[in-house]
Chains A and B, each alone.
Chain A
Amino acid sequence: MLRFPYRARPRKMSRQRLPEEGIIVGQEGRLQRLRQLVTGLVRYERIETVYQHCDETRGYAERLIHTAIRNGDQHQHTMEMADYWLNEKDLIYKLFDVLVPRYQNYSSAFTNIYRTPIVYPGRGTEMGILELKGNPWPDVLPKQRDNRYVISNVLLQAARKDYNTSKESRKTKNELNSSSENSET
C-alpha cells in the first residue's frame, strides 16, 4: 500500500525526449522516461527533476521496492519488474541487497519529495527533489532548531498551563454548583 498521497489518475507525460532513444510519443514514452528516473533514483538516491515527474516516479519506485520486499529475489515476476525498471543491471543487486533490508520494517513511505524554488529568469518550470529515505547524503531540509526555550514560547507555554488549570478548576466548580442545586431541589 502506498503511504503517501497519490493522484487518482496518471499524468500523461507523453512526447518525451530521451537522450538515447530520441523522441517517443505516448504511454510508451512516458514509461521510458519513468524508467530512467527510477534507475537514477536507485543509483544516486536523490534526483532533481521536474516536480510533476518526481511525483510520478514516486509511485513506481515505491511499488518496485514494495514488490521486492514482499516477494524477494527468487520470484519471477519481481525479477521481471526489476529487470524492466532498472536500466543498469548492477542496481538490481543494490535493490535486493541494500534497499530491501533498509526498508523492511518501515511503516511510512520510502521516499521524500520536495519542491525547489523556481529559477528566474527562465521558463518557470517547477522543479522538485525526490530522494530515498536513509540515503547517505546530508538532509535537504536544515535541522529544525529546538525553540522550546525561546522567550515567546516559554511565555506561551506558561499561559497555556495557566488556562488549562483554570479551566479544570472552573469545571469542578460548575459540577459542585450543579450538584448542590440538585440536592436543594
Chain B
Amino acid sequence: MASYSRRILPCFWKTTKLLTFEDSARRVPCRYHQELLPTRNYLLPETVEEHRKSELSKHPELPPSITSENVPADFRFVYPEFLPDPQYDRRDSIRERLEREDMYRRRAVIDIPEFYVGSIMAVTVSDQYSPNKENRFVGICIDRGGVGLRAFFILRNVVDGQGIEIMYEMYNPTLQSIQVLKLEKRVDDKLYYLRDAPQEYSTFPFDMDPIPVPKGSTVPVNKMKVQLNPRPWLERWERQDLQGVEDLKLEQRFYDKAAKVAKPWEKYDLMKWYRENTNEEERDSIMQEVHQRKRLTDIEKSKRKTKLAERKR
C-alpha cells in the first residue's frame, strides 16, 4: 500500500480533484471536472507537458559563465512582479516563461528602478496631445502590484488643490522613463489612507530634485504617522491594522465593532498563507533566473557605455 493515498473517494454529490505530489504546484479549483475544462478551449499544462518532446530551453544567448549563486535575499522584494500569480487557477507555465522573456527585453531597453510603496517617483509617458509629446508626473507610490507584464504602481499627488492618482503599468511601451526621486519605504503595504488625510501629506513638488542613495545601503524606512481628517472616511480605517496612522480618536463603539468583526485567527492560518503564496523552491528558481538575466543586461549596458565613451573621444 502506498505511503500516501493517491486515491480519490468516489463522491457522487461533491467533486474535488485531489492533486498529486508532482503537480502540487498547480491546482485545479474544486468545482471543475477534468472533463469540463476542454470545452472551454483550455489545455491543462499537464496535458501539454505530456506531449512535450524537448525541454523548454533557456535563453540561447546566456553564456555559461554567468552563474546565479549568491542571489541577494531581498531580490523578491525588488522584483516582485516576476513571481508567479498567487492564484493558481490563473497560472500557465508557458505563458509565464514568455512573459518573463518580454519583461527582460523591456528592462534591457528602459531602466525600471527599485522602488517601494512610499517612494516618490517621476514618470514620463509619451502623450500625443502634449506639445513636446511627453507628460511627466511626480507622486508618491501608494500601491504596487500585478503579476508579470500586468505589473502596476499608483502615484498620488495634489495638483492645484485636486488630489490625483495615476496607475502606471510598468511594462507599458509608452512609458518613457521611471525615475525614483526619493527611495524610501513606509510602515504600511498600501497608503490608500492618504485619501482621507490632509492634502499636505500627498503634495510633492514637480521640480523636486532626486535624492541619491548610495549603492549597497539599506532602504530607509519612514516611520511617520499621518493624522487623518475627521470622519466620514472612504474606508473603515479603524478596522485595518495601520501602522502609519496616528491615533484615530474615535468613539469606543467603533473599536468595539472592529474587535467584533476582526478575525485574529487568520494570521495563524498556515495553510491559508501557503495556498495564497508561491512556494519557496519555485520562488528561488525564478529569482535565480532574474539574477542571471540582470547580470547579462548589466554587462551589456556597461559595454555600451564604454563604446559611447570611446566614440566621444
Write the A34-58 contact mask toward B (1 if CB under 8 angstroms, else 0). 0000000000000000000000100
Find the B residue at minimum CB distance from A80.
B268
For the complex formed, measure the closest distance between the CB of A122 and the CB atoms of chain B, giving whole angstroms.
Answer: 18
A2 to B273 alpha-carbon distance, docked (Å): 13
Q: Are A59 and B274 in contact (CB under 8 A)?
A: yes
Main secondary structure of the interface of B (DSSP, over half): loop
A5 interfacial by beta-carbon distance below 8 Å? yes
For the complex formed, measure the closest distance between the CB of A55 and the CB atoms of chain B, giving whole angstroms.
Answer: 9
For the complex formed, measure the closest distance between the CB of A87 and the CB atoms of chain B, giving whole angstroms.
Answer: 12
For the complex formed, measure the closest distance between the CB of A15 and the CB atoms of chain B, giving whole angstroms.
Answer: 16
Q: Are B20 and A5 in contact (CB under 8 A)?
A: yes
Considering only CB atoms and an 8 Å cut-off, how many residues of chain A contact the other chain? 30
A7-B30 contact in complex given A81-B270, A85-B268, A141-B1, C-beta closer than 8 Å: yes
Find the B residue at minimum CB distance from A1.
B279
A63-B268 contact in complex given A5-B24, A27-B263, C-beta closer than 8 Å: no
A60 to B273 alpha-carbon distance, docked (Å): 11
Q: Which B residues lie within 8 Å of A16 (CB)?
A: none
Q: Which of A5, A7, A63, A108 contacts B270 (CB 8 A)?
A: A63
A81 to B279 alpha-carbon distance, docked (Å): 18
Write the A4-16 contact mask toward B (1 if CB under 8 angstroms, else 0). 1111111000000
Find the B residue at minimum CB distance from A8.
B27
Q: Are A6 and B19 in contact (CB under 8 A)?
A: yes
For the complex formed, measure the closest distance between the CB of A79 and the CB atoms of chain B, giving whole angstroms.
Answer: 12
For the complex formed, measure the closest distance between the CB of B24 and the CB atoms of chain A, giving whole angstroms.
Answer: 6
A4 to B20 alpha-carbon distance, docked (Å): 7
Find the A residue at minimum CB distance from B274.
A63
Q: Which of B6, B268, B269, B281 contacts A5 (CB 8 A)?
A: B6
Q: Which B residues lie within 8 Å of A114 (CB)?
A: 5
Q: Which A residues lie within 8 Å of B274 (CB)?
A: 2, 59, 63
A67 to B88 alpha-carbon distance, docked (Å): 22
Q: Are A1 and B24 in contact (CB under 8 A)?
A: yes
Interface residues of A (CB under 8 A from B): 1-10, 27-28, 31, 56, 59-60, 63-64, 67, 80-81, 84-85, 108-109, 112-115, 141
Nearest 10 pairs between A and B by C-beta?
A: A63-B270, A8-B27, A1-B279, A59-B271, A84-B268, A4-B4, A31-B265, A9-B30, A5-B19, A5-B18
Interface residues of B (CB under 8 A from A): 1, 3-6, 16-21, 24, 27-30, 88, 263, 265-266, 268-272, 274-275, 279-281
A–B Cβ pairs within 8 angstroms, 8 of them: A2-B24, A4-B21, A6-B24, A8-B16, A8-B275, A10-B272, A63-B274, A85-B268
